[in-house]
Structure 1
Amino acid sequence: MHATHKFRLLLRREFWEHKGGFLWAPLIAGGISLLLTLMAVIVGEVAAQRAIGAGKLTIDGNVVVNGLDLSVLSGKLDAEKMQQLAQGIDLSLLMAALWPFIVLAFVVFFYCLGALYDDRKDRSVLFWKSLPLSDAQTVLSKVVSATLVAPLLAVAAGVATMIGFMVLLSAVVMLHGGNPVTLLWGPGNPLNVLASLLAAVPVFALWSLPTVGWLLLCSAWARTKPFLWAIMVPLFAGIFVSWFELMKVFNLDSSWFWSNVVGRMLLGTVPGADLLYRGNASGMVGPDSAQGLLEYLSASNTLSSLAMPELWIGVVAGAAMIFVAIRLRRWRDEG
């Protein structure tokens, strides 16, 4: 059997063993967001009907009597307002698609934490070692599953959530006499949002390597309670460094250690964590905050994280910890 075929089978094994976390958890998160959106629409409809009945709902100073007619409203939108509408739609699509990525952070974290420990705990590692599979292939299949397979499935769940969100809004628009193509699908740019989500995948894969490597290292090394080891070692290291002010030896503040060591070891599985290290978010506040946020999360700006030295230093550190995890798996097979 060719090595690539073995690796493909290992990836398939990881997917089927963790299908609930990789596939169903992001889809359920997207479904919950759609359910909450539907509830908000129902509440808004009830409130609007009550305001219409009381004569308190006005548009451009005119009292709405018979109901909301979006076809009339859309005719009053100039170019500037249509641009604001398009930005609002894109931002809403992006927020809807982020729900699966919130779940992704927890799924990848706990998947890596138990990836090698669970095999030793139930002693299934003895069975897998009896097969013609190397430790490097096994561990790397878990790395690829965490850094590429899981994010791509989260993107798919995010796209499904965006489509459901647009269909739900289209039904509301048609209910009030509007044209969804003119008010939603035309102004919106779902392809730009999709490009932003896809661009985040390679950045996530590289940025998360220090956390993935550290968690796999703890999973391969810890005899029991890998979660406590994974959390407490970085935290106590940060407390020790802060207590004795060791970073002053390098003319640095203790916050540097918390951000670039503790944070990178524990928070790398959070999608978009690299945004906190770029420090160019000034356009996200102010009157054009929607446009600034969309530009900040655009595909081109997301890919600019690949030029950050912090990312590649983390890649080297993560690769080193993954290498140690592979070496540990060769002999640490106790229950």
Structure 2
Amino acid sequence: MNATADTLPVAKAPAHRTHRFALLLRREYWEHRGGFFWAPLIAGAISLLLTVVFFVIAMVGMRNADGDAKFYLDDGSTMSINGLDLGVLAAQLDAEDKAQLATGIDMTMLLSSAWPFIVMVFVMFFYCLGALYDERKDRSVLFWKSLPVSDGETVLSKIVAATVAIPLLATLIAIATMLVFLVLLSAVVMYHGGNPLELIWGPGHALTIALSLLAAIPVYAIWALPTVGWLMLCSAWARSVPFLWAVLVPLLSGVFVTMFSVMRLFNLDADWFWSNIVARMLLGVVPLTPYDLARMDGAQLESAGLVHLIEPAAVYGNLLQPATWIGAAAGVAMLLVAIRLRRWRDEG
């Protein structure tokens, strides 16, 4: 009997590189879903729970207070207020008061979204530290090396997971936390007779802050490369306790440079080494740069408002700083070494 076209075996084309890379990213997510997703989500939920507890305690305290609140004025007279009506207070705000209210709302929104970002810093640090060490420790690296996937693709998937996937998930959760916080705050404002659109959503810049946080992810990814590169290099090289190697080598180097004034040979002080070498190797996962901190002074907060300090035009100013690209180049160099180490490392 002759075989028909329908019965002939069909040769399957090899998976495309982009498809393989997507599978590698999915692997990283499923293996570390607790840190990637659940850790920042739980942190955001805890911050909202504490916010609810604070609001309840404050409202109960105000309810149990005397009906008339008495205030003593500078001239010695007194003024009594029966209850709290935010609608009446809002009508008395002038342009300067509204500007200060907007700054306060923006600051409150950023603070409410901080918990997922704090957790993100620790997740990124320890994920990079164990990215290449753990697979050697449990011998799963032998299985992955048997697949038609190069060491470069595998390490690159871990780099993208650390610098893009983790910050993106943390940012989305932080934005959701911020919006839920505003809803809770709106409920409190309505309870006291205020209009949330006038006192919360109008003065605040929720959408601008959310978009600015998302737009900052590429800059953060570039800034974090020195730390990501150093941690993955230690993860690929260390036979045991990579945490000690990753932390002690930069710290002891800083102590040595300080004690023996090594930087004087280059007409620099020890502080330069600590801020440009040690800090870049260990603290690059913190989403704040010296350029950002230099802009966050009181004068700028009063004149321009907090939202202008995190807008893309300001955040992307980091890309104009030579230190950003020098650090990124050093990070890429360390990652290339980590790829070579993964290829030839033998735990034998």
Fold shared, TM-score > 0.5 on shorter chain = yes
Matches within 5 A, 1:1-335: 1-53=15-67, 55-56=69-70, 62-65=79-82, 67-272=83-288, 274=289, 276-277=290-291, 280-281=294-295, 284-285=297-298, 288-289=301-302, 291-334=304-347
Shift of 1:136: 0.2
Number of paired residues? 331
- Residues 57, 107 of structure 1: alpha-carbon distance in 2 compared, 3 angstrom cutoff: farther
TM-score (norm 1): 0.93
| 1:23/1:58 CA distance change after superposition, 3 Å | farther
| Unaligned runs of at least 5 residues, structure 2 | 1-14
- Percent sequence identity over aligned pairs: 59
* Mean CA deviation greater in 22-31 or 225-234: 22-31
Query: Per-residue deviation at 1:54?
Result: 5.7
The answer as to whether partners of 2:250 and 2:281 remain within 8 angstroms in 1 is yes
Counterparts of 2:130 and 2:218 in 1: how far apart (Å)?
A: 23
The structural deviation recorded for 1:177 is 1.8
Residue type of the partner of 1:309? P
CA RMSD of aligned residues (A): 2.1
CA distance in 1, matches of 2:293, 2:180: 34
8 Å CA contact retained: 2:70, 2:79: no
With over 3 angstroms needed to count, the CA separation of the structure-2 counterparts of 1:255 and 1:175, relative to structure 1, is same
Distance 2:63 2:190 in 1: 16
Distance 2:308 2:234 in 1: 38
Contact 2:68–2:81 (8 Å) recurs in 1: no
Q: Comparing 284-293 with 256-265, which one deviates more in the overlay?
A: 284-293
Query: Where does residue 5 of structure 2 map in the other structure?
Result: none
Q: C-alpha separation between the residues in 2 aligned to 1:123 and 1:236?
A: 31
Once residues 6 and 23 of structure 1 are traced to their aligned partners in structure 2, the CA distance between those partners, rounded to angstroms, is 22
**Mapped contact 2:36–2:169 kept (Cα < 8 A):** yes
| Structure showing greater relative contact order (alpha-carbon pairs closer than 8 Å, 6 or more residues apart) | 1
The one-letter code matched in structure 1 to 2:341 is L
Deviation string 1:285-319 (CA, Å, 9 cap, x unpaired) is 25954855443333221111111100000110000
CA distance in 2, matches of 1:93, 1:168: 12
Q: Measure how far apart 1:86 and its partner are.
A: 1.4
In 1, are the aligned partners of 2:254 and 2:278 still within 8 Å (CA)?
yes
Q: Distance in 2 between matches of 1:132 and 1:208?
A: 29
1:129 is matched by which residue type in structure 2? Answer: K
Identify which range, 37-46 or 221-230, moves more after superposition.
37-46
TM-score w.r.t. the length of structure 2 is 0.90
- Answer whether contact 2:205 2:307 (CA < 8 A) is retained: no
Bigger-Rg structure (1/2): 2
Q: How far has the Cα of 1:62 moved from its partner?
A: 4.5
- 8 A Cα contact 2:132 2:236, kept in partner: yes
Aligned equivalents of 2:335, 2:105: Cα separation in 1: 41
